[in-house]
Structure 1
Amino acid sequence: MATMGRPRTFDRDVAITQAMHLFWEHGYESTSLSQLKAAIGGGISAPSFYAAFGSKEALFQEVVERYQNSHGRVTESLFDPLLPPREAIELTLRRSAKMQSEAGHPPGCLVTLGVMHTCSAQPTAVSAPLAEARARNRAGIIACIERGIAQGELPTETDTSALAAMFDSFLMGLTALARDAIPHAVMDASVTQVMAVWDALSATTGRR
């Protein structure tokens, strides 16, 4: 009587990273179940995939959580009240530019790429975590600007929403630059240029 082969085993932690890189490179919709099964653990069966992750959507949610707790932490300075507000924003932009240009993972930001790859057919379970992450970063930028106004670094008449939108759009725009292989040095220099807007506003208050 023939004996059944042992089910393929794999490191689940490594598998999440492998899936993250696929979703990061291709987006949720364009990453097929076949690609995921082939990449994880050197290849797993559909039953093993569903037993481990439940569904493609559930796996993506785990991937987003993994990203937020690793690469996505480049934005954490926005939420550090001990940092001067200008420094908090600048650190986020420079760290994000560096991370998005690093080797070892796809270029760009997975959260921002979710905007580029999202279509109306995607379920809320897929789009919601990405939207929440973007909203959190946007709120962090707004909080820094409000602190800058409260501390006298920025004029009281500063248009908080408009200034936040500028920094937020620049942050998301770094992804397009990274995907187009713009050198990190150029991206980093562009951060200096965009921070000059804060400095110009600050100069009107007579202090930094």
Structure 2
Amino acid sequence: MAQLGRPRSFDRTQAIDDALLLFWRYGYEATSLSRLKAAIGGGITAPSFYAAFGSKEALFKEVVARYMETHGRVNDPLFDETLAPREAIAAALSRSARMQCDERLPKGCLVALGTLGSYADEDSSLPLPLREARARIRAGLLACVGRGIARGDLAQGTDAHALATLFEGFLLGISPMARDGVALPVIEGAIAMAMTLWDGQRS
């Protein structure tokens, strides 16, 4: 029986993790195929790369999924209805800040920074997985604010979309601050101040 091909000489899950760190650190555009091939499995050939992942774009989509299953879970409190809504938002912001400032990881957030500069081609599907990830976070924030209004934690006249958007903007803004070296305690102090905006909407 003819051999169908050489077995892969690398662990696929580890390969995705290797690629994740590159895309996270450099973004999609600056992460070249040659850089990916050199990093994955200690170095693989182009045919092996295409056989395993199909394309750079396809690998990037797998990377985003992997990120959301691992580091991206810092936002899980937004979907935990056992937490009070204010507590859920504060916990998500705090956990995200700690992850983004972790010295063992690339600074910032892949979801916020991964395809900056990739929107020039409006037909490109590259930003889609990150847009979907951001949409999920946006929905979680809005749901928390909605629960806060329903519970009477926030005034009935609170503009839910505006308040949720404010927290989303703050969350996305942590990434450039982390990359610029703003210290975690400073960001945590800003989170505490941001949460007073919730308190100012109490019923």
Q: TM-score, normalised by structure 1?
A: 0.91
Of residues 72-81 and 123-132 in structure 1, the stretch that sits farther from structure 2 once superposed is 123-132
In structure 2, runs of 5+ residues without a counterpart are 1-5
2:192 partner SS? helix
Distance 1:104 1:123 in 2: 35
CA deviations on 1:43-100 (whole Å, 9 max, x unpaired) are: 1110111111111011001100100000000111111111100001000000000000
CA deviations on 1:137-193 (whole Å, 9 max, x unpaired) are: 111111111110111110001111111111000000000111101111111111101
Judged with a 3 Å threshold, the aligned counterparts in structure 2 of structure 1 residues 158 and 48 are, in CA distance, closer, same or farther, namely: same
Distance 2:112 2:150 in 1: 30
Distance 2:93 2:45 in 1: 41
Give the match for residue 3 of structure 2.
Answer: none
Distance 1:88 1:45 in 2: 45
Give the match for residue 139 of structure 2.
Answer: 139
Answer yes or no: is the 8 Å Cα contact 2:16–2:63 preserved in 1.
Answer: yes
Matched to 1:90, the amino acid is A
Matched to 1:61, the amino acid is K
Answer yes or no: is the 8 Å Cα contact 1:108–1:178 preserved in 2.
Answer: yes
In structure 1, runs of 5+ residues without a counterpart are 1-5
Give the match for residue 193 of structure 2.
Answer: 193
Give the match for residue 101 of structure 1.
Answer: 101
Matched to 2:37, the amino acid is K
Distance 2:8 2:83 in 1: 49
* Pairs within 5 Å for 1:70-81: 70-81=70-81
Give the match for residue 130 of structure 1.
Answer: 130
Residue identity (%)? 55
How many residues end up aligned between the 2 structures? 198
Once the 2 structures are TM-superposed, how far is the Cα of residue 38 of structure 1 from its aligned partner? 0.8
Answer yes or no: is the 8 Å Cα contact 1:37–1:44 preserved in 2.
Answer: yes
Answer yes or no: is the 8 Å Cα contact 1:61–1:125 preserved in 2.
Answer: no
CA deviations on 1:108-128 (whole Å, 9 max, x unpaired) are: 000000353432227644211
Distance 1:107 1:122 in 2: 28
Give the match for residue 148 of structure 2.
Answer: 148
Answer yes or no: is the 8 Å Cα contact 2:28–2:115 preserved in 1.
Answer: no
Distance 1:54 1:175 in 2: 30
Give the match for residue 36 of structure 2.
Answer: 36
Give the match for residue 168 of structure 1.
Answer: 168
Distance 2:63 2:8 in 1: 22
Distance 1:20 1:168 in 2: 23
Judged with a 3 Å threshold, the aligned counterparts in structure 2 of structure 1 residues 115 and 63 are, in CA distance, closer, same or farther, namely: closer
RMSD, aligned α-carbons: 1.5
Q: TM-score, normalised by structure 2?
A: 0.93
Give the match for residue 56 of structure 2.
Answer: 56
Distance 1:125 1:160 in 2: 30
Once the 2 structures are TM-superposed, how far is the Cα of residue 103 of structure 1 from its aligned partner? 2.0
Give the match for residue 26 of structure 2.
Answer: 26
